[in-house]
Homo-oligomer: A and B are copies of this chain.
């Protein structure tokens, strides 16, 4: 499966095939969305020819549209300063440059683009959210997926409007570049029945759910991270893992994977160090409390292993490097992990540097095979 490559000193080495489960495409300006929005949506987003006039050079800010934004500000830039394109566009905004700087350099066969504006997916004005989602999906498809077939994408839908989400999946969910449904965390745990219409069509279309921050604590969406709000970005970012633990517990206990056995959930950027403990506690409780969840025919950990996938960035860095392998083995998670770079973000994992302590076969699974078994790239 791996390509042979010659290097300058004449020796040969295998270059690892890579599928990258988390890359972010940016628009350089939101005005790029104008061609994909009707007049009403342009007015609501305050873009295009109807954009409000400035008074003395300033827009009255309370009248401007605002994306639901994360309340926690990274004191560093969230964008890699080495990823600006030569044409001056911001990191992640030039498909050609990203193809060179990321795909070519790291031997990436497919990169899955997850919207950096995903907080809009769960915006509570669902008409604006649905309009934005469709516009964004079309913009990304035309400007990225159609320009380089290595770009694949998760499509935005609103978990707050499952009927509209189903329609959007019907509209574009069979296009060859669309390989997942981007579902944001809200204050509705993912196991709740509200969301089943989305799961039903996603399973039918062979699309896994993709879950990625930042709707946590963003704008009016703001699902809680347990207990109460964090004070710093460091505290908030560390606690992102709680959202995945909570949602996985909900998915398993509610029997979603019994009802939709082919549906997969990919959690990106939530970590995996908590996985063994979550599995153990779920299995232990299930032994005593299974009367509550009679629909579960297998141990909870088995549903997690078969239906949940974890994108790896930011990968855990144990005190003893060998413990990364130990944790994977403890959980039996060899088939669950999907490499992701999070390009062009600040804390990205580079394909040629992560997983150096793992055996070769396991690396190949994480870098390539597990993604092939999760996404359908031959649509």
Contacts and interface: CB of A to CB of B under 8 A. Distances in A.
Interface of A: 74-76, 185-192, 223-235, 237-239, 241-243, 245-247, 249-250, 253-254, 271-286, 288-293, 301, 314, 316-320, 323, 326-327, 330, 332, 346-347
A230 B290 CA distance: 15
Contact of A271 (B230, B246, B281, B290): B281
Q: How many copies does the complex hold?
A: 2
B227 A250 contact: yes
A279 to B, nearest CB: 8
Given A229-B189, A319-B301, A249 B238 contact: yes
Contacts of A241: 245, 277-278, 281
B238 A253 contact: yes
A357 to B, nearest CB: 14
Given A231-B250, A273-B277, 12 more contacts: A189-B230, A227-B247, A234-B282, A235-B249, A238-B282, A239-B245, A239-B246, A277-B316, A277-B327, A284-B314, A288-B347, A326-B326
Given A273-B280, A318-B276, A330-B319, A230 B249 contact: yes
6 contacts: A227-B246, A232-B292, A234-B253, A242-B242, A275-B277, A280-B319
A318 B232 CA distance: 34
Contacts of A190: 227
Contacts of A75: 289, 291-292
A243 B283 CA distance: 19
A283 to B, nearest CB: 8
Nearest to A223: B227
B225 A280 contact: no
Among A189, A228, A234, A253, find the residue whose CB has the most chain B CB atoms closer than 10 A: A234
B226 A246 contact: yes
A45 to B, nearest CB: 28
A128 to B, nearest CB: 23
Contacts of A291: 75
A71 to B, nearest CB: 14
